[in-house]
Amino acid sequence: MKNERRDKTIGLRAYSTKKFIDVGQPTPASHPQLMKEGEITPRLGAEEYISRRKRFLELLPENSVAILAAAPVKMMTDVVPYMYQQDADY
């Protein structure tokens, strides 16, 4: 059985002999010093995000629409725009 951390190694840092581990977004399993179980982001759980969404919706007039910016346009190079597409599975 392969070591999971070894599979995620993406290279060595120039100033260190230790391998850099790509762990992605912090989770309680990968960063227990930052997050507790049940948190989506540090110190904020799903209940907090749900209540914020509900409070925001209560502020909107009936039959209205809210358009929220997801992310700015990124550039792949100096001349090639990279159009960001939010993950539809959210």
- Of 31-35, 42-46, 61-65, 83-87, the one with minimum mean pLDDT is 83-87
Report the C-alpha gap between 90 and 87 in whole angstroms.
Answer: 6
Mean pLDDT along residues 33-50: 90
Per-residue pLDDT, 1: 46
- 12 — pLDDT class (breaks 50, 70, 90): low
Considering only the C-alpha atoms of the chain, give the largest distance between any 2 of them, rounded to a whole number of Å.
Answer: 59
Per-residue pLDDT, 68: 85
| pLDDT tens per residue, range 22-38 | 657 788 888 889 889 98
C-alpha 66: how far from chain center: 22
Q: pTM for the full model?
A: 0.49
